[in-house]
């Protein structure tokens, strides 16, 4: 059974894109040129290709190089809420127009930032499946676009809205972008929020953004939401992405030759605001996961939940997986969010969904998660023999007013990145 909070979150999610993108609900109303653009280049359906494996060379390397110059987005190019994808597009690691396939995004995130293969696949497929066009295998890194192809028929819940669609992947308490509730713009860099990021880095990080600053700033942004946003929610996948995004800058925006987990604030601004690699930037020294998010989480542990009756009514959702339950987050995203968007796909769409769930699963394999087949297997044809409704445990009585959690003593930890010298070799 799906919990009440999950239902509220998804209801908001499904209502929000319609309000945000009233002009793009279908191809109706597009100009001739837009329609031609939308329909051209989409031939016969073929099953989407699998994502690439790990990089052959996974060490430090100049990435702001002559082959990847910064070029600001031109007319019609799309940018969105992820400063890293915007950077990859501005430097040509992914398509400069902001429309890309998931396999190329995985490749770009590995090549440009040395994000490890599993984290690239997990992040990318979690976002792609709920925001992209599964038939054409294209997603917009920002707003909904006809360039990802026509929406599949008879799936009214599936918005194919691009990465800035609220609450199916994009969510509340971003570090430098406003909540959807604060006017609907979830993708523009917000200077006021960035000043908070600087303040916390100065107060807790000694002038650098590091794990200690991240732990404090993550809690602050969650508290901001709880106190000012009546629709505030942080359940899967947002709980995962919020913590992953808190450590990604520490893991992947520190120059790989520096490799000490201490992000310079001028470099932070370069990524967050300008979506630009600093001059001479070298990617991380080794493929990076987000596993040190556990350190950040331990500073102020937060359980998944939402404001259920206005501000300051944060309630823990016992049905939603907790941050350390990665298999649970994977299953919840497929069994709950994806299935709500696509309750009864058939034909090519069914084939594409099965393929994408499998590609998503390959990111979880090494963690020992079990593969799931909520839409059946390829060999089942149109029949969903393996279909079984997910068996989520019944919700316990909600706990109201659990935030702010009682302050926890700062754990003593040795930052795994701090002691590591710049030993990696250059390409
Ligand atoms: C692999 C494909 C990726 C996808 C699909 C993706 C998607 C997204 C999305 C949708 C958001 C907005 C979430 C929100 O704040 O509500 C976001 C934010 C963010 N992403 Fe990515 N991302 C990817 C890779 C990366 C990489 C490689 C990095 C770092 C090198 C990164 C760093 C960040 C950061 C720091 C934010 C938070 C922005 C803020 O809170 O102000 N992402 N990403």
pLDDT tens digits, 39-91 = 456 788 999 999 999 999 999 999 999 999 999 999 999 999 999 999 999 99
Q: What does the alpha-carbon distance between residue 85 and residue 94 come to, in Å, rounded to a whole number?
A: 8
Predicted confidence (pLDDT) at residue 179 exceeds the cutoff of 80? yes
**Atom from ligand 1 closest to the CA of residue 112:** 27
- Residue with CA nearest ligand 1 atom 5: 124
Q: Evaluate whether residue 142 is within a structural domain.
A: yes
Predicted pLDDT of residue 4: 40
Cβ of 51 closer than 6 Å to ligand 1, yes or no, is no
| C-beta of residue 199 within 8 angstroms of C-beta of residue 280 | no
What's the whole-number mean pLDDT along residues 33-37? Answer: 45
Domain assignment of residue 68, given as a range: 4-20+57-380
For tokens 């769930």, name the residue.
Answer: 357
Centroid of ligand 1 to alpha carbon of 143 (angstroms):
15
What's the whole-number mean pLDDT along residues 356-376? Answer: 95
Cβ of 277 closer than 6 Å to ligand 1, yes or no, is no
For tokens 């359940």, name the residue.
Answer: 235
Omega of the bond leading into 199 within 30 degrees of 0 (cis): no
Q: For the chain, what is the domain count? A: 1
- Residue with CA nearest ligand 1 atom 14: 170
Cβ of 357 closer than 6 Å to ligand 1, yes or no, is no
Cβ of 314 closer than 6 Å to ligand 1, yes or no, is no
For tokens 């993108």, name the residue.
Answer: 21
Longest C-alpha distance within the chain, in Å? 62
Omega of the bond leading into 17 within 30 degrees of 0 (cis): no
Cβ of 163 closer than 6 Å to ligand 1, yes or no, is yes
Cβ of 254 closer than 6 Å to ligand 1, yes or no, is no
Predicted confidence (pLDDT) at residue 407 exceeds the cutoff of 70? no
Cβ of 114 closer than 6 Å to ligand 1, yes or no, is no
Q: Evaluate whether residue 46 is within a structural domain.
A: no
Q: Evaluate whether residue 420 is within a structural domain.
A: no
Predicted pLDDT of residue 390: 53
**pLDDT, the chain, mean:** 84
- Going across the sheet that includes 305-307, the strands are 233-234, 305-307, 314-316
User: What would the pLDDT profile of 261-303 be if each residue is shown by its tens digit?
Assistant: 999 999 999 999 999 999 999 999 999 999 999 999 999 888 8
Alpha-carbon separation of residue 79 from 44, 88, 97, 128, 186 (angstroms): 28, 10, 8, 15, 12
Cβ of 174 closer than 6 Å to ligand 1, yes or no, is yes
User: Which of the four pLDDT bands, split at 50, 70 and 90, describes residue 379?
Assistant: confident
Centroid of ligand 1 to alpha carbon of 91 (angstroms):
16
We report the CATH number of the domain holding residue 337 as: 1.10.489.10
What's the whole-number mean pLDDT along residues 216-234? Answer: 94
Q: Evaluate whether residue 136 is within a structural domain.
A: yes
Q: Evaluate whether residue 74 is within a structural domain.
A: yes
- Residue with CA nearest ligand 1 atom 42: 84
User: What would the pLDDT profile of 139-166 be if each residue is shown by its tens digit?
Assistant: 999 999 999 999 988 888 999 999 999 9
Q: Evaluate whether residue 191 is within a structural domain.
A: yes
Q: Evaluate whether residue 107 is within a structural domain.
A: yes
Cβ of 246 closer than 6 Å to ligand 1, yes or no, is no
Q: Evaluate whether residue 388 is within a structural domain.
A: no
Cβ of 101 closer than 6 Å to ligand 1, yes or no, is no
| C-beta of residue 162 within 8 angstroms of C-beta of residue 145 | yes
What's the whole-number mean pLDDT along residues 336-343? Answer: 92
Centroid of ligand 1 to alpha carbon of 245 (angstroms):
6
């Amino acid at each position: 059974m799906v919990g009440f909070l999950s239902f509220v979150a998804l209801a908001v999610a499904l209502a929000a894109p319609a309000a945000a993108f009233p002009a793009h609900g279908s191809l109706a109303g597009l100009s001739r040129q837009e329609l031609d653009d939308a329909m051209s280049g989409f031939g016969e359906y073929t099953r989407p290709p699998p994502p690439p494996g790990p990089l052959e060379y996974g060490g430090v390397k100049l990435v702001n190089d002559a082959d990847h110059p910064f070029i600001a987005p031109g007319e019609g190019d799309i940018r969105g809420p992820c400063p890293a994808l915007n950077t990859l597009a501005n430097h040509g690691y992914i398509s400069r127009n902001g429309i890309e396939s998931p396999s190329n995004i995985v490749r770009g995130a590995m090549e440009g930032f040395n994000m490890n293969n599993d984290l690239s696949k997990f992040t990318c497929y979690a976002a792609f499946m709920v925001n992209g066009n599964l038939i054409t295998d294209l997603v917009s890194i920002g707003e909904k676009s006809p360039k990802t192809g026509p929406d599949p028929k008879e799936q009214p819940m599936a918005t194919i809205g691009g990465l800035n669609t609220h609450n199916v992947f994009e969510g509340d308490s971003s570090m430098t972008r406003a909540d959807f509730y604060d006017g609907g713009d979830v993708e523009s860099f917000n200077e006021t929020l960035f000043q908070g990021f600087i303040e916390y880095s100065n107060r807790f990080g000694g002038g650098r953004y590091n794990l200690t600053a991240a732990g404090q700033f993550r809690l602050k942004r969650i508290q901001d939401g709880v106190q000012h946003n009546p629709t505030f929610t942080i359940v899967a996948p947002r709980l995962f992405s919020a913590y992953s995004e808190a450590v990604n800058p520490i893991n992947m925006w520190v120059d790989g030759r520096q490799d000490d987990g201490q992000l310079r604030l001028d470099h932070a601004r370069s990524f967050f605001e300008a979506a630009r690699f600093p001059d001479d930037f070298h990617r991380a020294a080794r493929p990076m996961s987000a596993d040190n998010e556990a350190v950040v989480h331990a500073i102020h542990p937060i359980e998944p939940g939402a404001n259920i009756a206005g501000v300051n009514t944060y309630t823990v959702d016992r049905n939603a997986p907790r941050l350390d339950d990665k298999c649970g987050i994977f299953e919840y995203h497929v069994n709950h969010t994806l299935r709500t968007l696509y309750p009864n796909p058939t034909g090519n769409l069914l084939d594409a969904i099965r393929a994408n769930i499998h590609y998503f699963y390959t990111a979880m394999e090494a963690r020992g998660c079990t593969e799931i087949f909520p839409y059946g297997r390829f060999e089942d044809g149109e029949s969903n023999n393996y279909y079984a409704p997910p068996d989520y445990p019944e919700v316990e009585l909600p706990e109201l007013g659990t935030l702010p959690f009682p302050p926890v003593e700062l754990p003593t930890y040795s930052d795994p990145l701090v002691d590591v010298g710049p030993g990696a070799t250059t390409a």
